[in-house]
Amino acid sequence: MAEVRLEKVTRRFGSVVAVDNVDLQIRDKEFMVFLGPSGCGKTTTLRSIAGLEKIDAGRIFLADQDVTDLPPGQRGIGMVFQSYALFPHMTIADNIGFGLRIKKVPASEKAGRVRKVAELLYLDNLLDRYPGQLSGGQRQRVAVARALVIEPAVLLMDEPLSNLDALLRMQMRAELKKLHHAINATTIYVTHDQVEALSLGDRIAVMRDGKIVQCDVPMEIYDKPANVFVGSFIGNPPMNFVHGEVTSQEGRLMIKGQGFTVTPDPKWSKALADRKRVILGVRPENFRVHFQEPAGETNGAQAAVEVVELLGNLKLLTIDLAGSVLKVSVEPDTAVTAGENVWLTWNEDKLCIYDSDNEWAITPERPEVVSA
Amino acid sequence: MRWKKALFYAAAAVFAVWTVMPIVLIAMAALTPRQELYSWPRQFIPENFSLESFRFFANSHGVLAATFRSIAVALATVLIALLVGAPAGYALARFRFRGKEAFRIGILMTRMFPTSLLAIPLAVIYLKTNIYDTIGGLALMHAALAMPFVVLVTSSLFLKVPYDLEEAAMTLGCSRIGAFVRVSLPLALPSLVAAGIYTFVLSWNEVFASAVLTVHNRTLPAHIISTLNVSPLNFKFAGGFFMIIPALIFIFLVRRYLLSMWGVAINK
């Protein structure tokens, strides 16, 4: 059992607060991803868990043990560094076996464990080589093997794929996911790549300015970003944001903006009742593009297509909606040309609404749970 | 472009001759038999080579003892300089601390004053603390002279060993010191040895402090300088050449590392 718990962890560098009063609980065997732009504190948080950073305040627990004051080697963690940090003066076998040698594991047992991990990561025929003789992908696997051989309760990975080329990165991503299921460790993975985060994480903690902005399962993070920052950081292209004003017409709540009107679901009524200005967030795929004025739809908004980009699996449109520029994705075989006038409708189920002042999400009322 | 290249090689040739010529002259003079050395007109390249002068030099009173003292002082210097200087260099490379830049400049400033200015106060201090005219005392002085070099060079050596490596070792169960001993030290060792040898040569060649801080227990250069006025020509040549040889051999051995030590890449 290796649950990881951070309690009010703070780490400062001079006047800069790298990790700001972070509380977090990571479940046993969970794959947790720290995601955020550079300088958001994700790596510092990881290094604090590893024990490589002394924290200024707070406690860190691994498997219910307070490890705040323990050195890295006694915390039961294994770490994969962004630079791989392989020891250049040792063979691959010695690199992988390093942790076992320090822990004084008998030579015979050591050789067996090294071989087993090497096989798991397809390194068994490279054991006599030196790091300098391996390719980037191989080195990356050695770094993972070296961290795994000591059978850590928590595996920490700091942007392990960022030094690989795109194709290799995709392969290794799948390998890592497979590996996580094969080993019995809680994994914490730091990345600035939202695709990696979405594909790998059981949960994602999105960080900014030393704080966790949102921590949830990938689908929730994608569909319901907690604030404008998360929405624009995750998704490629990012979420569209347009300003609107809440009005009421014949008793129905409406959001009106430049050139469009949206009628939100009644579940929003309470949350929006006292508000005036809001920001609407819509993912590019949550628009529908019509070439005639949609019948039966009251909220079709007229807009002009500015740019059409064929990206293979989709067509990305840049659309001017009365001054706001939107990114809209449609099926690749949609016949649309630049300069065309179209009507847009929104998938109102997937609408996100944000406070226009603090940019945090306004949450609709949850449907009432019928108690049994 | 061609004349530029020619100019470059011409300059290099002049510089090489400038450096090598005195060594060659001393070598030839040292290997010339005594009679020929005093004959006039003397030939540029001697007719006979002989080790006569060398034998005379080596058998002269005090030379052998001075040589052993020189070696002892140089070894002690290397030991002190590396034991004190290398950790300082490591700290400069690895840690952020208040006054780090001031420390770096301060190290260089220790060489701001010429030894001749410090000679008398030093001699007084040495006399008062009873380390005057001792091997250890002189090694202390040489170590102080070599310290800026050792600290700055070792700091640049350790900078080249990524800190990641030590951190990786720590996550695998090493203590901080264990990580240094098992990872950084082996990686920096060749260059550390080179720095040690360079320090050895610094001490071996050092004359002034040796002459001021010792009377009876002189090192070889100090011994030669003090007997220079009263010794025959062949003794001087043989002594000079004898002093050059170890320095040449050592520097030749570590020439590859000298360049990396100073952070100069010539083959790129």
Q: What is the rounded CA–CA span in Å between residue A182 and residue A266?
A: 46
Q: Which residues pair with A210 in a beta bridge?
A: none
pLDDT tens-digit series, residues B65-81: 999 999 999 999 999 99
Average pLDDT over residues A292-313: 86
The answer to whether the Cβ–Cβ distance between B170 and A73 falls below 8 Å is: yes
Average pLDDT value for chain A:
91
The answer to whether the Cβ–Cβ distance between B170 and A52 falls below 8 Å is: yes
The reply to whether A257 and A342 lie within a common domain is yes
Out of B162, B171, B186, name the one closest to residue A73 (CB). Answer: B171
Q: Which residue of chain B has the CA closest to A95?
A: B169
Residue type, B42: R
The reply to whether A205 and A342 lie within a common domain is no
The reply to whether A175 and A258 lie within a common domain is no
The reply to whether A200 and A292 lie within a common domain is no
Q: Which residue of chain B has the CA closest to A155?
A: B171
Number of inter-chain CB pairs under 8 A, A vs B: 60
- Domain count across chain B: 1
A88 CB neighbours in chain B (<8 A) are 187
Q: What pLDDT score does A367 carry? A: 57
Residue type, A15: S
Please say if the pLDDT value at position B263 is more than 80: no
- Which of B94, B98, B172, B185 to mutate to test binding with chain A, by most A CBs within 10 Å of its CB? B172
**Distance to chain B for A195, nearest Cα, Å:** 26
- Boundaries of domain holding A245: 233-362
The reply to whether A214 and A287 lie within a common domain is no
For A162, the 3-state DSSP assignment is coil
pLDDT confidence bin for B261, thresholds 50/70/90: low
Please say if the pLDDT value at position A229 is more than 90: yes
The reply to whether A175 and A262 lie within a common domain is no
The reply to whether A154 and A52 lie within a common domain is yes
User: Cis omega (within 30 of 0) on the bond before A237?
Assistant: yes
Residue type, A31: F
Out of A85, A99, A156, name the one closest to residue B173 (CB). Answer: A99
Q: Judge whether B100 lies within some domain.
A: yes
Please say if the pLDDT value at position A110 is more than 90: yes
pLDDT confidence bin for B268, thresholds 50/70/90: very low
**Distance to chain A for B101, nearest Cα, Å:** 17
Q: Judge whether B176 lies within some domain.
A: yes
Which residue, A196, A228, A260, sits at the end of a domain?
A228
pLDDT tens-digit series, residues A54-67: 999 999 999 989 99
The reply to whether A34 and A183 lie within a common domain is yes
A86 CB neighbours in chain B (<8 A) are 168
CATH code for position A316: 2.40.50.140
Q: Judge whether B42 lies within some domain.
A: no
Q: Judge whether B29 lies within some domain.
A: no
Q: Judge whether B90 lies within some domain.
A: yes
The answer to whether the Cβ–Cβ distance between B173 and A147 falls below 8 Å is: no
CATH code for position A136: 3.40.50.300
The reply to whether A61 and A97 lie within a common domain is yes
- Domain count across chain A: 2
pLDDT-above-90 percentage for chain B: 42
Q: What is the rounded CA–CA span in Å between residue A189 and residue A203?
A: 10
Q: Judge whether B183 lies within some domain.
A: yes
Q: What is the rounded CA–CA span in Å between residue A270 and residue A49?
A: 42
Residue pair A304/A339 in contact by the 8 Å Cβ criterion: yes
DSSP code for A227: B
Please say if the pLDDT value at position B19 is more than 80: yes
Average pLDDT over residues A308-313: 92
Q: What is the rounded CA–CA span in Å between residue B188 and residue A87?
A: 12
B171 CB neighbours in chain A (<8 A) are 50-52, 72-73, 77-79, 147, 156
DSSP code for B181: I
Residue type, A340: E
The answer to whether the Cβ–Cβ distance between A52 and B169 falls below 8 Å is: no
